[in-house]
A and B are shown apart, each in its own frame.
Chain A
Amino acid sequence: MTLTPEWYLLLAAALFTIGAVGVLIRRNAIVLFMCVELMLNAANLALVTFSRINGTLDGQIIAFFVMVVAAAEVVVGLAIIMSIFRTRRSASVDDSNLLKY
């Protein structure tokens, strides 16, 4: 049996989906956010794999940028979560539903 690089893509798709589903299932805002990070990572894996398939480095560059962006995003996101936690003493996103309908 031989595996082709597409398996990386399938793995990436699976990870992406798990992350996407995780966002729907988990309630802790931080875990939710980690799920998003997983999705970004999955995308990165796909990018790197495509980079290999296409034989260009652009994919890797994008993945690199994604890491930078993710870092910034994490900071902002965690800051927001922190500020909410300070008031509500809860990190559950379900508790934040004053805005509705």
Chain B
Amino acid sequence: MEHTVQFAPATGLLSGMWLLVALPAVSAAVLLLLGRRADRWGHWLGCLSVGAAFVLGLLSFFALRGQENRAVQLNLWEFISAGSFRVDFGLLFDPLSAVFVLLITGVGFLIHVYAVGYMEHDEGRRRFFGYFNLFVAAMLVLVLGNNYVMTFLGWEGVGLASYLLISFWYVRPSAATAGKKAFLMNRVGDAAFVIAIFLLFAQLGTVNFDGVANQVHTLSSGVTLMLGLLLLLGATGKSGQFPLTAWLPDAMEGPTPVSALIHAATMVTGGVYLIARSNFIFTANSTLQLVVVSVGALTLLIGAIIGCAKDDIKRVLAWSTVSQIGYMFLGVGLGGAAYALAIVHLLAHGFFKAGLFLGAGSVMHGMRDQVDIRRFGGLWKYMKITWVTFGLAWLAIIGLPPLSGFFSKEPIIVAAFERKDWTAWLFGIAALLGAGLTAFYMTRLFMLTFHGPKRWTDDIEHPHESPPIMTIPLVLLAVGSVAAGGLMVGPVPKWLTPVLGHEVRGEAVLAHSAITILAIAVTLIGAGLAYLLFRDGTATAPQPAGALVTAARKNLYIDAFNEAVFEKPGIFLTRALVFLDGKGIDGAVNGIAASVGGGSGRLRRLQTGFVRSYAMSMLTGALLVVAAFLAVQYGWFA
């Protein structure tokens, strides 16, 4: 790709795009700094700021459409400058950012509104909205930054918000631990990301997107591979992909709106954004693409398999998210047209996964925070709106036409089959398999929750529907789940062309229609199987299961692996070092001191108090001095 990337300076309405970030940021600051004084109206301020940002985003979007060069940047101030290194606090509004801005602010707004109801009885609601706004601001920085450092700034910002929100109920040890785990695993990815930035600067002398894009062809393939792998590792961290996947399910310790917004719709797709944004790097190296595809495929299967075995409604959805983001990685890894497809899937996923989470939240809201799907059943009678909206999202995610999931997922499967060699079969089949598994676990979830006999305990006397402030966002998201896919699959790739390049389709190893049919077939098989198995509910106690299911229940031993390989040795190492520091290094110093003291104590015994001893030491000294002088005289030392 030899065309030069150039960002035009922002003018007109777009020069106000800093407000996109500023609105939620200021709101967050107000909410967090004012403290209890803002308790009464804080949540509304939170919603308002995001809503305003959404409106501004829409306006900016339209303004961008009117621009000839659809990439507009706004350098606010010099951020970091030293020697030849210089980055600005600069924002970039281009088609990719625009799409993300709309998703973040749009879905974000809905979830904010929903959270007003969901968090109504929580004493920390104002704090919650502060964090939430902070998250939106950071996420907008992530997607609006015009250089890698800005992206990283947002990247870490969302990490922080995620941490804060996961451990929002910090009094619960599990929540605190989960937050810490999320932050730490993200940090691993972040470290890789930041090293990638260093590498870019060392190689190219710039970290701006345009500069990198225009010079990436000068890099050797080894450097590109390294760069890509580092970025990928960063992306996997944020997106909960293999190998940094373990934190995402634990992140469900946070309040449900958090799961919906951060750990389903927006933040976790940051990795996808990063790879899409860096498409010029990933496209430049086919090995790199293979790695990305492999990560995507592997993760989508892992997520799906584990999702089948989980009984916690939010965990199932979390693993589902892992799996779906796997699809997106698969898409961005495939390159070419699939970049846009991944973004489409991302957007669609944003709608239906948010809907699913909010629905789950609504269920929990009505069920006294019960999350075990084995304890649900027959809820469709009690919470109709939730049931309907959840059902639509369910259908969307399993990819049943004509709902959005079909339009977003099926092209990725097709694209997988369009690879050049035998890997087409490998990844194509993996993608298909994933679709089937998705259908299975989502159907299981849906059936167990809303249908079949009621299995909840008697203390929940009146399962009830949520208040309108929660259901209205549900409805809106359901609409999105239904329609978004179909609406976007055409225009969005075209819209993204300036960023991601022109659509170049390869030859699929199978006919397009065959793949479509296969995809629908596996979906139906999966869903049907689940329906058959779970239409009558399930046992509320854990059942003995085969090795695979046991493994799946235990997250395929990923946590166990982490514990055995990183945590335990780490603790041991720490303890060993504490010992070493105290007894070794400090001990050495203290030892010197002690030996001086001991030597002193022993030497002072020579001062016996007997004058004759003193005389002896003098005579000895005299003898030695005279001997030494004579030795010098005779040249014995020479």
Chains A and B are bound partners: yes
Query: Which residue in B605, B612, B622 is a CB contact (below 8 Å) of A101?
Result: B605
Query: Which residue in B608, B615, B619 is a CB contact (below 8 Å) of A100?
Result: B608
Kindly specify which of A20-28, A48-56, A66-74 makes contact with the partner chain.
A20-28
List, in ascending order, chain A residues with CB within 8 A of B604's CB. Answer: 101
We find that the number of chain B residues with CB closer than 8 angstroms to chain A is: 12
Cβ of A93 under 8 Å from chain B: yes
Q: How far is the CA of A94 from the CA of B613 in the complex (A)?
A: 10
Q: Beta-carbon contacts of A72-101 to B below 8 Å, as 1s and 0s?
A: 000000000000000000000110111111
Find residues 609-628 in chain B having any chain A CB closer than 8 Å to their own CB: 609-612, 615-616, 619, 622
Q: How far is the CA of A98 from the CA of B608 in the complex (A)?
A: 9
Contact: B609 with A98, CB < 8 Å? Answer: yes
Assuming A101-B604, A101-B605, is B611 touching A96 (CB within 8 A)? yes
Query: Which residue in A20, A21, A25, A97 is a CB contact (below 8 Å) of B610?
Result: A97
Q: How far is the CA of A27 from the CA of B612 in the complex (A)?
A: 8
Query: Which residue in A24, A25, A27, A99 is a CB contact (below 8 Å) of B609?
Result: A99
List, in ascending order, chain B residues with CB within 8 A of A27's CB. Answer: 612
Contact: B608 with A23, CB < 8 Å? Answer: no
Write the chain A residue with the least CB distance to B604: A101
List, in ascending order, chain B residues with CB within 8 A of A23's CB. Answer: 612, 615, 619
Q: How far is the CA of A47 from the CA of B219 in the complex (A)?
A: 93
Write the chain A residue with the least CB distance to B619: A20
List, in ascending order, chain A residues with CB within 8 A of B286's CB. Answer: none
List, in ascending order, chain B residues with CB within 8 A of A25's CB. Answer: 612
Query: Which residue in B605, B607, B615 is a CB contact (below 8 Å) of A24?
Result: B615
Write the chain A residue with the least CB distance to B610: A97
List, in ascending order, chain A residues with CB within 8 A of B605's CB. Answer: 101
Contact: B616 with A24, CB < 8 Å? Answer: yes
List, in ascending order, chain B residues with CB within 8 A of A96's CB. Answer: 609, 611
* Min C-beta distance of A20 to chain B, whole Å: 6
List, in ascending order, chain B residues with CB within 8 A of A21's CB. Answer: 619
* Min C-beta distance of A12 to chain B, whole Å: 15
Contact: A97 with B609, CB < 8 Å? Answer: yes
Contact: A94 with B607, CB < 8 Å? Answer: no
Q: How far is the CA of A101 from the CA of B616 in the complex (A)?
A: 16
Give chain B's interface secondary structure class: helix
Contact: B607 with A101, CB < 8 Å? Answer: yes
Contact: A24 with B612, CB < 8 Å? Answer: yes
Q: How far is the CA of A25 from the CA of B619 in the complex (A)?
A: 12
Q: How far is the CA of A23 from the CA of B612 in the complex (A)?
A: 7
Q: How far is the CA of A98 from the CA of B610 in the complex (A)?
A: 9
* Min C-beta distance of A57 to chain B, whole Å: 28
* Min C-beta distance of B599 to chain A, whole Å: 14
* Min C-beta distance of A101 to chain B, whole Å: 5
Contact: B609 with A101, CB < 8 Å? Answer: yes
Write the chain A residue with the least CB distance to B601: A101
Q: Beta-carbon contacts of A18-37 to B below 8 Å, as 1s and 0s?
A: 00110111010000100000
Q: How far is the CA of A97 from the CA of B614 in the complex (A)?
A: 11
Write the chain B residue with the least CB distance to A95: B610
Assuming A20-B619, A24-B619, is B612 touching A100 (CB within 8 A)? no
Contact: A94 with B619, CB < 8 Å? Answer: no
List, in ascending order, chain B residues with CB within 8 A of A94's CB. Answer: 610, 612
Contact: B607 with A93, CB < 8 Å? Answer: no
* Min C-beta distance of A80 to chain B, whole Å: 12
List, in ascending order, chain A residues with CB within 8 A of B619's CB. Answer: 20-21, 23-24
List, in ascending order, chain A residues with CB within 8 A of B612's CB. Answer: 23-25, 27, 32, 93-94
Q: How far is the CA of A25 from the CA of B612 in the complex (A)?
A: 7
List, in ascending order, chain B residues with CB within 8 A of A32's CB. Answer: 611-612
Q: How far is the CA of A52 from the CA of B492 in the complex (A)?
A: 123
Contact: A100 with B616, CB < 8 Å? Answer: no
Q: How far is the CA of A56 from the CA of B615 in the complex (A)?
A: 34
Contact: B609 with A100, CB < 8 Å? Answer: yes
Q: How far is the CA of A100 from the CA of B605 in the complex (A)?
A: 8
Find residues 362-401 in chain B having any chain A CB closer than 8 Å to their own CB: none
Q: Beta-carbon contacts of B454-482 to A below 8 Å, as 1s and 0s?
A: 00000000000000000000000000000
Contact: A97 with B608, CB < 8 Å? Answer: yes
List, in ascending order, chain A residues with CB within 8 A of B607's CB. Answer: 100-101
Q: Beta-carbon contacts of B585-617 to A below 8 Å, as 1s and 0s?
A: 000000000000000000011011111100110
* Min C-beta distance of A43 to chain B, whole Å: 14
* Min C-beta distance of A9 to chain B, whole Å: 15
Q: How far is the CA of A25 from the CA of B615 in the complex (A)?
A: 10
Contact: A93 with B611, CB < 8 Å? Answer: yes
Contact: B609 with A93, CB < 8 Å? Answer: no
Q: How far is the CA of A99 from the CA of B607 in the complex (A)?
A: 9
Write the chain A residue with the least CB distance to B617: A24
List, in ascending order, chain A residues with CB within 8 A of B622's CB. Answer: 20
Q: How far is the CA of A46 from the CA of B33 in the complex (A)?
A: 96
List, in ascending order, chain B residues with CB within 8 A of A100's CB. Answer: 607-610
Write the chain B residue with the least CB distance to A23: B615
Write the chain A residue with the least CB distance to B612: A24
* Min C-beta distance of B288 to chain A, whole Å: 77
Write the chain A residue with the least CB distance to B622: A20
Q: How far is the CA of A21 from the CA of B622 in the complex (A)?
A: 12
Write the chain B residue with the least CB distance to A27: B612
* Min C-beta distance of B51 to chain A, whole Å: 85
* Min C-beta distance of A100 to chain B, whole Å: 3
List, in ascending order, chain B residues with CB within 8 A of A93's CB. Answer: 610-612
Write the chain A residue with the least CB distance to B611: A93
* Min C-beta distance of A17 to chain B, whole Å: 9
* Most chain A beta carbons < 10 A, residue from B605, B610, B622: B610
Q: How far is the CA of A97 from the CA of B613 in the complex (A)?
A: 11
Q: How far is the CA of A20 from the CA of B619 in the complex (A)?
A: 7
Q: How far is the CA of A12 from the CA of B350 in the complex (A)?
A: 111
Task: List 20 additional contacts besides A24-B619, A96-B609, A97-B609; criterion CB under 8 Å.
Answer: A20-B619, A20-B622, A23-B612, A23-B615, A24-B612, A24-B616, A32-B611, A32-B612, A93-B610, A93-B612, A94-B610, A94-B612, A97-B608, A97-B610, A97-B611, A100-B607, A100-B610, A101-B604, A101-B605, A101-B609
Interface positions of A (Cβ within 8 A of B): 20-21, 23-25, 27, 32, 93-94, 96-101
- A-B pairs, top 7 by smallest CB distance, nearest first, are A100-B609, A97-B609, A101-B604, A93-B611, A23-B615, A24-B616, A97-B610
A and B contact pairs by CB, cutoff 8 A, 15 listed: A23-B619, A24-B615, A27-B612, A93-B610, A93-B611, A94-B610, A96-B611, A97-B610, A97-B611, A100-B607, A100-B608, A100-B609, A100-B610, A101-B604, A101-B605
Interface positions of B (Cβ within 8 A of A): 604-605, 607-612, 615-616, 619, 622
